[in-house]
Amino acid sequence: MPTIRRPRKGSMQFWPRKKAKKMTARVRSWIKQKEPKLSGFVAYKVGMTHVARLNDDKNSHLKGEELSVPVTIVECPPMRLFSARFYKKIGVKLQINKEVFFKAEKNLTRKIKFSKSKESLENIAVSEFDKITVLVCTQPQKAGFGKKKPEIVELALGGSNSEKLDFIKQNHDKEINLRSVFDENQMVDIHAVTKGKGFQGAVKRFGISLRSHKSEKGIRTPGSLGPWVRQQHISWRVAHAGQTGFHQRTEYNKQILLISDDLLSFGKGFHKYGSLKSTFMILHGSVLGPKKRTLILTKAFREKSKKHKLITI
């Protein structure tokens, strides 16, 4: 008898299931912060391991005991500000009215033509603009997996427009570290592109059941494409083959268990990644994407109060 696969829960949750345009995710919504600091950070996925934590759930029968839980290690080399963007509201839309560029990274100078911008932050009047954001560039050469080309990501800033401008003036020539953005035990959302699996059939893509061995034309195909009369097209709800994986997704409420600069020694390093060279964090649970994937961490939108206490690594 062939194995029957039940449809996965929420198998039609995302539509259309199309390939992401870029390797780096795009954040469309930000939480407003009162403090003048970055609202997110760009990091790289290293791999998974497990740690011992103290169960502090008062309703659990294992309260006060040590539990082994899965965690993900994420390397977070310091970032630099690449440019400041000043938006102005025209009608209903926000449009970039002015952009001031700072000193470009070594590996970006050949690609970025506008790095010789003559604009200055001193000549900008804050009252003329409705929104201020920054472009940051990563420094993957300070990470352990040997990448050279940086990512450029647009991040939001907290505080009023005048506070944002002061933050940019103070930090445009400095490195921005992870501890200046996030703290331990904080909940974060992770924006990234999932692991790509190419063109797959309906069974793997949507988890539909295999048909009987006596069925016509195919076993791994959907049984019906729709009614015979009236309907002149195939509904989008019918499971078909197509692109699987490499989709932009967001994972909510991942707790930061630890932020550390004490580099872990795992012999020759982590499998398919290498050794850690800069600040890293430990997140509770799994994280989307393969190793070396670029992650954008933001403050949690739907923050939960559940906390975990880390004991040992």
pLDDT tier for residue 11 given thresholds of 50, 70 and 90: low
Pairing of strands 187-193, 131-137: unpaired
Report pLDDT digits (tens) over 31-73: 988 899 999 999 999 999 998 888 877 888 988 888 899 999 9
Report pLDDT digits (tens) over 197-233: 999 999 999 999 999 998 888 899 998 888 878 778 8
Structural domain harbouring 308: 40-195+245-312
Residue 25, token pair as written in the block: 């995710």
Backbone angles phi, psi at 312, to 5 degrees: -140, 165
Pairing of strands 248-260, 309-312: unpaired
Report pLDDT digits (tens) over 112-148: 544 445 567 777 888 888 999 999 999 999 998 888 8
Residue 202 lies in a domain: no
Half-sphere exposure of 195 (CA within 13 A, CB side): 9
Report pLDDT digits (tens) over 295-309: 999 999 888 766 666
Distance set, CA 143 to CA 77, 265, 275, 286 (Å): 6, 15, 8, 21
Question: Number of structural domains, the chain?
Answer: 1
Distance, in Å, from the CA atom of 226 to the CA atom of 238, rounded to the nearest integer, reads: 8
Neighbours of 231 (CB within 10 A): 10
Residue 291 lies in a domain: yes
Residue 227 lies in a domain: no
The model's pTM is: 0.87
Distance, in Å, from the CA atom of 183 to the CA atom of 162, rounded to the nearest integer, reads: 25
E strand or H helix that includes residue 51: strand 40-54
pLDDT value, residue 259: 94
- CATH number of the domain that residue 173 is part of: 2.40.30.10
Residue 141 lies in a domain: yes
Residue 99 lies in a domain: yes
Residue 85 lies in a domain: yes
Residue 163 lies in a domain: yes
Residue partners of 101: CB distance under 8 A and separation at least 6: 82, 83, 112, 114, 115, 117, 119
Residue 123 lies in a domain: yes
| Cα distance between the two ends of the chain | 45
E strand or H helix that includes residue 193: strand 187-193
